[in-house]
Structure 1
Amino acid sequence: MISMNFPAVHAFCVEHNVQMVQAGPNQICPECAKNNVNQNNLEHQKHVDQMVRELHFGGAMIPVRHKDSGFRNYNVTHAGQSNALNTCVAFARTMIAGQKRNLIMSGKTGTGKTHLSCATAKTLLGKGISVRYITSEDMANEIANAWTKHDDSERSAVYRFTEYDLLILDEYGLHDRHENRLQLVHKVLYSRYDIGKATMIVSNMTLTDLQKDLGDRLWSRFQHDGLSVIECNWADQRVGGGL
């Protein structure tokens, strides 16, 4: 295409063995010029991809304490922890493969639930999958306070939490006990079910209590696309300086 727009000269490109063309004061090889354009496009795309990746990581709102939490540095000392790790890894692989399912991690505090949820988030973010981490209390507060902003509404706030490929809802059942706030949390869960989005619930409640709290209708929907369950019933690792 370049050789058609510029007059050919007698010189040939040593590298490509094609006739060079005159472009202003310079003699250039059409193939070299095309490769330079392709390289510039490639560098630009890498820059754009990096910007998108940084935006995704920033938008995920992973807690600073867990910015370095990954699958590889999750402390495994017994079968329960090994099962928890393997289940989260399998869940991440399922999502990377384009399949949607839900995951619940329930059990005692200090058992590494947030570590694993953030490790899952970082793994998926690295593959270009959008993730948002938030506590149940903070999400309910943001939705409830949306009406105080002139450019926001409850409906828009619910939608914001619905559109992520994965929503990680931590501390469910801890500070969201007010009935109206809990209804807002459930609105998001119903909305995500309606459009087939994956959700991870992390809670200190027992699995039985969590099921009762969600209610039969929401619990049924949560299982519809497949549900992985991790019960963390081992001792608090923070006491000994662990997770």
Structure 2
Amino acid sequence: MNAHFQFSRFSMSQEVCDMHKVQKLVAGGNLICPMCASEYVNADRSKHQSETNRAVFEKHIAGAMLPDRHAHSSFSNYKTTTQGQANALSQCANFAKRIAEKQNSNFIMVGSTGTGKTHLACATAKNLLKNGLKARYITSEEIAQRIMNAWDKDTKDQSEEAVIYEFAQYDLLIVDEYGLHDREKRTELVHKVLTKRYDCKKPTMLISNFTLKKLRDDLGDRLWSRFQHDGLTVVECNWADARVGGAHV
């Protein structure tokens, strides 16, 4: 938006601005080109908006709780030496684009350790954060523990319902290490969060070392069906562990 000035109270001079070829105005004994003045104010306004956007981004990325190890993980530095890795990268990038365009869908990434699943998940989160959306990274164990903490009367500052509602508000929730939580006591708690996000029409990225079949069995027919309702992308990471031998993912 161009800045608007009230120049009617100024008188016109005979001097012409070299850049804009318009007559300068006399204001307080000074000669001012109205177009130069507008550009100056708009540039200052643009700078202020950039600083505001940066501050918002920094706040959102802090709230995303991305692991320190993946502070610099991005789509551009994910190494692809196999067709499977290239496909995983492409699928994650496309998923981020869909979420940024408000297309609700879910994403599942399964495979053994060291295949770059968390790297790609954090890169997806950063892509959304740069687009002004809110993303949150958390493990399934941490989700269950947060809910269980709400049961503690001595430290209770949120109810179970409030914790679940909080997790349902992010534009994207990344649930990593699904299946490493206590199988007997905590699976139901994690499922409550996944179900709530489905009810709120919010996309979820679920990451697990399980096989796809084991993950599907663990989610159960009802939750698996809900995951597919608005569209589901599944990526199976079946290549070698890149951490072995000092490689990084």
Structure-1-length-normalised TM-score: 0.89
Which residue of structure 2 aligns with residue 86 of structure 1? 90
The alpha-carbon deviation at position 123 of structure 1 amounts to 2.1
Distance (Å, rounded) in 2 between the aligned partners of 1:97 and 1:176: 36
Which residue of structure 2 aligns with residue 187 of structure 1? 192
Which residue of structure 2 aligns with residue 69 of structure 1? 73
The alpha-carbon deviation at position 93 of structure 1 amounts to 2.4
Which residue of structure 1 aligns with residue 140 of structure 2? 136
1:234 has 2:239 as partner:
yes
After TM superposition, the structure 1 stretch with the greater mean CA deviation from structure 2, 48-57 or 65-74, is: 65-74
Render the CA deviation track for 1:42-91: whole Å, top value 9, x for unaligned. Answer: 11101101111111211111111111222232232323223222222222
The alpha-carbon deviation at position 147 of structure 1 amounts to 4.9
1:48 has 2:52 as partner:
yes
Contact 2:135/2:173, CA 8 A, preserved across alignment: yes
Residues 19/57 of structure 1: CA separation in 2 closer, same or farther (3 Å cut): same
Which residue of structure 2 aligns with residue 204 of structure 1? 209
Residues 228/2 of structure 1: CA separation in 2 closer, same or farther (3 Å cut): same
Distance (Å, rounded) in 1 between the aligned partners of 2:156 and 2:39: 51
Which residue of structure 2 aligns with residue 8 of structure 1? 11
Provide the secondary structure at the position in 2 that maps to 1:37.
helix
The share of aligned pairs that are identical, in percent, is 53
Amino acid at match of 1:72: S
Cα root mean square deviation, aligned: 2.1
After TM superposition, the structure 1 stretch with the greater mean CA deviation from structure 2, 170-179 or 42-51, is: 170-179
Residues 80/187 of structure 1: CA separation in 2 closer, same or farther (3 Å cut): same
After TM superposition, the structure 1 stretch with the greater mean CA deviation from structure 2, 162-171 or 230-239, is: 230-239
1:175 has 2:175 as partner:
no
Amino acid at match of 1:209: K
Provide the secondary structure at the position in 1 that maps to 2:7.
helix
Which residue of structure 2 aligns with residue 106 of structure 1? 110
Provide the secondary structure at the position in 1 that maps to 2:137.
strand
Distance (Å, rounded) in 1 between the aligned partners of 2:48 and 2:202: 32
Distance (Å, rounded) in 1 between the aligned partners of 2:84 and 2:34: 63
Contact 1:2/1:30, CA 8 A, preserved across alignment: no
Distance (Å, rounded) in 1 between the aligned partners of 2:30 and 2:94: 57
How many aligned residue pairs are there?
240
Render the CA deviation track for 1:163-192: whole Å, top value 9, x for unaligned. Answer: 11111100011124242x322211211111
The alpha-carbon deviation at position 27 of structure 1 amounts to 4.3
The alpha-carbon deviation at position 94 of structure 1 amounts to 2.1
Which residue of structure 2 aligns with residue 155 of structure 1? 161
Contact 1:103/1:227, CA 8 A, preserved across alignment: yes
Provide the secondary structure at the position in 2 that maps to 1:3.
coil
Structure 1 residues without counterparts, runs of 5 or longer? none
Distance (Å, rounded) in 2 between the aligned partners of 1:12 and 1:177: 81
Residues 26/67 of structure 1: CA separation in 2 closer, same or farther (3 Å cut): same
Amino acid at match of 1:238: R
Structure 2 residues without counterparts, runs of 5 or longer? none
- For residues 207-226 of structure 1, the aligned pairs below 5 Å read 207-226=212-231
